[in-house]
Amino acid sequence: MSTQSFPTGVRDIVAGFAARTFSAEEYARFVLGEIERRDPELHAFLEVFDDVVQQAREKDAERAAGSAAPLLGIPVATKDNLLIRGRRAGAGSKILEGYVAAYDATAIARLGQAGAVFLGRTNMDEFAMGSSTEHSAFGPTKNPHDPTRVPGGSSGGSAAAVAAGFAPAALGSDTGGSIRQPAAFSGVVGFKPTYGTVSRSGLVVMASSLDQIGPFARSVDDARLLFNVIAGRDPLDATSAAAPSATAAAKKPLVIGVPKEYFGDGLDPAVARSVRQALAAWERAGARLEEISLPHARFGLAAYYIIMPAEVSSNLARFDGIRYGYRAPDAENLLSTYEQTRAQGFGAEPKRRIMLGTFALSHGYYDAYYEKAQRVRRLIRDDFAAAFRSVDVIAGPTAPMPAFRIGERTSDPLQMYLADIYTVGVNLAGLPAISLPAAPVSVDGASLPVGLQLIGQWGRDHALLDAAADAEAAMPDGRRAITA
């Protein structure tokens, strides 16, 4: 069949396999062709595995033998901070140079059991620290909608891979917005589940109390398909929880809380219009909008940029030149091995955060910074809990701006951090949230995606996904992920 006729959504591909319209091997060859054609420019992948066709053939054989695994033969791209046994994993950092994973991340193992074909490792900001994928030690990824712009981050490679049609789905991780914000910039769906719903075992840690693995896909339905596979309690992660159960059909009308704090000064007017239009379309389709207030939302970034670096400074102590990856070649003794390995192996952003976190946790500053930030974290959580007493879902922009130009924000960390102003509060509160494409905006002749963020109640991931599917169906011209 001609390359044009291959579908790009997970459900459609599964249907194509079932109807024997094409095989997993044929589909794998199709995406490999797309990657070969465009990834030299976009750089979504750090590595495309050399056994993809072989994996796909095995899936075809399993199908012939009667397997009905839900993702059998579906190619999935995975972020470079997820361990796949026997393969390289680098978290976008030079300090993990040469590191080969000794075990599968639980999310990876579950994808494998569901029959997925692992396509390759996607580019990311080093240790998931960033909002543009420019902090990768291996060079930036470009936005498929406009290659002069960033795809968002830190899971920018996964978002770009799905947007460009390299993979129908991908996994990323979200500590402060790193699934939702690149999904918004790249015009795809990105879902961060309730904290603990997907095991963190085998995820290269950034900030343990915030990190969460989740899917990228081209529709809410496809994202849910992946979520159902990877979610669930795992003895290897004590913070993991049972997979949330599917909810009974939601009561109608859905009441959507629209926080006034998410439409303040920092919001790009074109993005605001697009999000308001999406909400109006949803309202016409039967949702009820209600203005709400999240009074402590404005302290979210400040609290996040204390708590996250504090956890980073402790978690990244393990990269010492002894246990993993890179080791400085010329160190004279143990202490200088540590010092030189870390000096040479870490890029500027991890170093900045290790220093900030070490400071925030140090004697005399702990109370003033870390403990204060934890109190603010509680207030942010309480704001959400109060709002959810009167609304079903909270909606607003995912990010305050569309994709910015490569290089535009790298010299000013604070400008970069602002890209997460609407996403970090969700991680502080542990809630589920999803970004889906609203109408694109036109900037300097380019048509750039905009994300609508929906935030759900703790543990009610399926109710959130139901609401998101409802919003998606209400979008003008049934808008789905935007192929670039």
Query: In the complex, what is the shortest distance from the CB of residue 160 to ligand GLN, in angstroms, rounded to a whole number?
Result: 16
Query: In the complex, what is the shortest distance from the CB of residue 154 to ligand GLN, in angstroms, rounded to a whole number?
Result: 4
Q: Is 83 within 8 Å of 108 (Cβ atoms)?
A: yes
If the CB atoms of residues 3 and 239 are measured against ligand GLN, the closer one turns out to be: 239
Q: Tokens for 301?
A: 């970034």
154 part of the active site: yes
Query: In the complex, what is the shortest distance from the CB of residue 214 to ligand GLN, in angstroms, rounded to a whole number?
Result: 11
If the CB atoms of residues 210 and 230 are measured against ligand GLN, the closer one turns out to be: 210
If the CB atoms of residues 34 and 211 are measured against ligand GLN, the closer one turns out to be: 211
If the CB atoms of residues 17 and 185 are measured against ligand GLN, the closer one turns out to be: 185
Query: In the complex, what is the shortest distance from the CB of residue 119 to ligand GLN, in angstroms, rounded to a whole number?
Result: 21
93 part of the active site: no
Query: In the complex, what is the shortest distance from the CB of residue 441 to ligand GLN, in angstroms, rounded to a whole number?
Result: 21
79 part of the active site: yes
Interaction site with ligand GLN (CB under 6 A): 128-131, 154, 174-178, 206, 308, 420
Torsional sign, CA 361, 365, 371, 373? negative
Torsional sign, CA 142, 144, 149, 155? negative
If the CB atoms of residues 144 and 153 are measured against ligand GLN, the closer one turns out to be: 153
Backbone angles phi, psi at 352, to 5 degrees: -60, -45
If the CB atoms of residues 112 and 432 are measured against ligand GLN, the closer one turns out to be: 432
Point out the catalytic residue in the list 158, 173, 178, 274: 178
Query: In the complex, what is the shortest distance from the CB of residue 294 to ligand GLN, in angstroms, rounded to a whole number?
Result: 19
Cis peptide bond N-terminal to 158, omega within 30: no
What are the contacts of 241-244 at 24+ separation with CB within 8 A?
241/194, 241/196, 241/197, 241/459, 243/197, 244/194, 244/197, 244/459, 244/460, 244/461, 244/462
Point out the catalytic residue in the list 23, 93, 131, 154: 154
> Which active-site residues does the annotation give?
79, 154, 178
